[in-house]
């Protein structure tokens, strides 16, 4: 049987009322109800691996929007006082933005392009923080024209720029905090050391600029909750510096860096740290609500990864394999893998595409078997079906002609995998599509959507109508 028919054999067709056809964005497919694995299978069923046109078997993402919704519930449960401003850079998917807009989050934009993507959804510019401390002058003018009135800065030149092109903008001083316990250390590039803050604030005052608060970013992929406690403490010191400079700060922006696995632990440290270093009485004696701000202090955050990491899975097709001969392994493989891979698999998305996260985001990705010998074999709880002696050491490579394009130097996959079979990578929502290139003429992987299943799907559907 052709691969496609075998896959189709046990796939029940969807009823018409299960198809939720929102008006799709250009180039995007309509959204279906069902879990990620149902949707993966649906897409595979439509692919004729032996007869499709060029690009017909392209790698593709499945995004479960209900997972984004659940992450939002998780946020609100753990940090109800802190308003999330989703970091668009992490994954600017239009459906994700639309859902988050409906859920009432704000947006952290880093460029005019991101600002436009958000405004296009009809979002009020008051819900945007332009959280890039080093902006192009033309982007600042663009922000002014579009009434984006809140931004970060961390240096003198930026103050001059703001005075010249957007003098009424409210400013947030981004301070340097300890990012040594994070996968991506943003402090190498951004953040004013505390001892430089008084001079910056003095200059801001001379320029009659309106500095309203303090922000920080503990680094993306932060694995130590104490980094947040320490950063909140430093932010408090910057607040006091603001007072000395004659400002009354009322905005604390605790940035991003929230992971998927340790989120509740981080929240458990953050809450008490904020209570301790920002006691209510300092902001509104008597604990009253002042101008819509609980206790006079408004706290926002810029989570990116937290919202989308687990909502996207990526399916790739094995387009070629090299077996039974010593692998012409390059230096990367030699360095990382003392066990020699016996098979080199080539798949149709790689480091120049969605797997750029291997380089930029310092992650190790984990292929799971989606089809084995053309049979659907995906078990979300298992890396590979079969027993240990049915596995063999392999390497996985991307589709380009560059040898840096190595997705995994060593991974154990079932012996029965064939060219034409599919792999799937879970947790691919953050810092993947957004930085993918089309190097070598390879298209970016497209996204297929699902609303999820059950009650969550209903809520998401309502929100997105
Ligand atoms: N805010 C700023 C200014 C950033 O640069 C980033 C990521 O680089 C984020 C927020 C999002 O960080 P994360 O995805 O770790 O939450």
For residue 390, the CA-to-ligand 1 centroid distance in Å is 41
The three-state secondary structure class of 183 is strand
Give the DSSP H/E element, type plus range, for residue 173. Answer: strand 170-174
pLDDT in tens, 200-218: 999 999 999 999 999 999 9
CB 164 within 8 A of CB 143: no
Whether pLDDT at 118 is above 70: yes
Specify the pLDDT at position 8: 41
Atom of ligand 1 nearest to the CA of 221: 15
pLDDT in the model for residue 295: 58
Each residue of 361-378: pLDDT tens digit?
999 999 999 999 999 999
Catalytic residue among 21, 401, 406, 434: 401
Q: Where are the alpha helices (DSSP H) in 345-453?
A: 357-360
Nearest CA to ligand 1 atom 9: 256
Q: What is the Cα gyration radius of the chain?
A: 24
- Could you tell me if 133 and 155 are in contact, meaning their C-beta atoms sit under 8 angstroms apart? yes
In this predicted model, which residue has the larger pLDDT, 185 or 330? 185
pLDDT computed for residue 464 by the predictor:
84
Judge whether residue 322 has pLDDT over 60: yes
For the CA of 257, the closest atom of ligand 1 is 15
Residue with tokens 């799709």: 24
| 342 Cα–ligand 1 center, Å | 39
Q: What is the mean pLDDT of residues 20-32?
A: 57
Query: Options 3.20.20.80, 3.20.20.10, 3.40.50.1460, 3.40.1130.10; which CATH number does 92-303 get?
Result: 3.20.20.10
Q: Report helix, strand or coil for 260.
A: coil
Q: How far apart are CA 128 and CA 118, in angstroms?
A: 8
Atom of ligand 1 nearest to the CA of 222: 15
Least confident of 29-38, 127-136, 456-465: 29-38
Residue of 335, 331, 247, 263 whose CA lies nearest to 301: 263
Does position 71 have pLDDT exceeding 70, yes or no?
Answer: yes
pLDDT digits (tens, 9 = 90+) for 280-318: 777 755 444 455 454 589 999 999 999 999 999 999 999
Please indicate whether residue 384 or residue 146 has the higher confidence score (pLDDT): 146
Average pLDDT over residues 147-175: 98
Task: Kindly report the protein residue whose alpha carbon is nearest to atom 7 of ligand 1.
Answer: 220
Q: How far apart are CA 35 and CA 20, in angstroms?
A: 14
401 is catalytic: yes
Ligand 1 residue neighbourhood (C-beta within 6 Å): 87, 89-90, 108, 131, 186, 217, 220, 255-258, 302-306
ipTM of the complex: 0.99
Task: Give residue 257 CA to ligand 1 midpoint distance, Å.
Answer: 6
pTM: 0.92
CA of 349 to the centre of ligand 1 (A): 25
Q: Which two tokens stand for residue 169?
A: 């903008």
Site to substitute for ligand 1 among 228, 257, 301, 432, most atoms within 8 A of C-beta: 257
What are the pLDDT digits (tens) for 403-440? 999 999 999 999 999 999 999 999 999 999 999 999 99
Question: What average pLDDT does this structure show over 333-354?
Answer: 84
- The Å distance, Cα 302 to ligand 1 centre, comes to 6
Q: Which atom number of ligand 1 is nearest to the Cα of residue 220? A: 15
On whether the CB atoms of residues 110 and 174 are closer than 8 A, the answer is no
Q: What are the residues facing 344 on neighbouring strands?
A: 322, 395
3-state SS assignment for residue 377? coil
Residue whose Cα lies nearest atom 8 of ligand 1: it is 220
Which residue, by CA, sits nearest to atom 12 of ligand 1?
A: 256
pLDDT over 50 at 6, yes or no: no
Q: How far is the CA of 260 from the centre of ligand 1 (A)?
A: 14
What percentage of the chain has pLDDT greater than the value 90?
80
pLDDT per position as a tens digit, 98-107: 999 999 999 9
pLDDT at 78: 95
pLDDT at 327: 56
**Pocket of ligand 1, candidates 71, 87, 96, 430: which has the most ligand atoms within 8 Å of its Cβ, to mutate?**
87
Q: Which residue has the tokens 């996260």?
A: 357
Ligand 1, residues 88, 130, 217: which to mutate, most atoms within 8 A of Cβ? Answer: 217
- Among protein residues, the one with the nearest Cα to ligand 1's atom 6 is 256
Q: How far is the CA of 435 from the centre of ligand 1 (A)?
A: 14
- Residue 261: C-alpha distances to residues 35, 308, 417, 428 (Å): 21, 13, 31, 15
Q: Residue with the nearest Cα to atom 5 of ligand 1?
A: 186
What does the mean pLDDT of the chain come to? 90
Q: How much is the pLDDT for 34?
A: 85
Per CATH, the homologous superfamily of domain 3-64+311-454 is Lyase, Ornithine Decarboxylase; Chain A, domain 1 (2.40.37.10)
- The domains of the chain are located at 3-64+311-454, 92-303
How far apart CA 253 and CA 232 sit, in angstroms, is: 10
Q: Is 328 helix (H, G, I), strand (E, B) or coil?
A: coil
pLDDT band, very low/low/confident/very high, at 336 (cuts 50, 70, 90): low
What is the distance between the alpha carbons of residues 182 and 188, in angstroms, rounded to a whole number?
Answer: 12
- The residue-averaged pLDDT of 33-53 equals 92
Place of tokens 């332009």: 130
Question: Residue 332 and residue 407: Cα distance in Å, rounded?
Answer: 11
Token code pair at residue 289: 């609500």
Q: Whose CA is nearest to atom 4 of ligand 1?
A: 256
Residue 48, SS3? coil
């Amino acid at each position: 049987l052709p691969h496609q028919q075998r896959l189709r054999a046990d796939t029940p067709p969807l009823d018409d009322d299960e198809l939720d056809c929102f008006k799709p964005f250009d180039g995007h497919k309509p959204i279906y109800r069902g879990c990620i694995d149902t949707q993966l299978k649906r897409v595979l069923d439509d692919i004729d691996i032996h007869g499709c046109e060029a690009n017909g078997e392209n790698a593709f993402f499945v995004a479960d929007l209900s997972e984004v919704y659940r992450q939002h519930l998780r946020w609100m449960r753990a940090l109800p006082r802190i308003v999330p401003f989703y970091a668009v850079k992490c994954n600017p998917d239009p459906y994700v933005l639309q859902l988050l807009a409906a859920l009432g989050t704000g947006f952290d934009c880093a460029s005019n392009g991101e600002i436009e993507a958000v405004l296009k959804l009809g979002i009020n510019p008051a819900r945007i923080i332009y959280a890039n401390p080093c902006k192009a002058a033309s982007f600042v003018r663009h922000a002014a024209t579009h009434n984006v009135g809140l931004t970060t800065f961390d240096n003198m030149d930026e103050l001059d720029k703001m005075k010249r092109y957007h003098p009424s903008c409210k400013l947030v001083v981004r301070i340097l905090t300890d990012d040594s316990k994070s996968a991506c250390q943003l402090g190498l590039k951004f953040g004013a050391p505390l001892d430089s803050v008084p001079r910056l604030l003095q200059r801001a005052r001379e320029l009659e600029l309106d500095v309203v608060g303090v922000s920080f970013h503990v680094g993306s992929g932060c694995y130590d909750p104490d980094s947040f406690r320490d950063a909140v403490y430093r932010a408090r010191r910057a607040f006091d510096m603001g007072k000395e400079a004659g400002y009354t700060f009322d905005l604390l922006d605790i940035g991003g860096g929230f992971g998927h696995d340790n989120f509740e632990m981080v929240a458990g440290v953050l809450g008490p740290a904020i209570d301790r270093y920002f006691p209510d009485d300092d902001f509104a004696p008597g604990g009253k609500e002042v101008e819509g701000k609980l206790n006079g202090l408004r706290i926002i955050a810029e989570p990116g990864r937290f919202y989308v990491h687990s909502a996207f899975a990526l399916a790739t097709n094995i387009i070629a394999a090299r077996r039974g001969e010593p692998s012409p392994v390059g230096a990367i493989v030699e360095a990382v893998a003392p066990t020699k891979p016996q098979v080199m698999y080539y798949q149709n998305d790689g480091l120049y595409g969605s797997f750029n996260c291997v380089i930029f985001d310092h992650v190790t990705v984990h292929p799971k078997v989606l089809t084995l010998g053309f049979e659907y074999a995906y078990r979300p709880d298992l890396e590979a079906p079969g027993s240990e002696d049915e596995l063999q050491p392999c390497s996985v490579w991307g589709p380009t002609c560059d040898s840096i394009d190595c997705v995994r130097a060593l991974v154990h996959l079932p012996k029965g995998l064939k060219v034409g079979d599919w792999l799937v990578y879970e947790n691919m929502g953050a810092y993947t599509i957004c930085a993918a290139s089309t190097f070598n003429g390879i298209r970016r992987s497209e996204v297929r959507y699902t609303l999820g299943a059950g009650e969550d799907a209903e809520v998401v559907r309502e929100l997105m109508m």
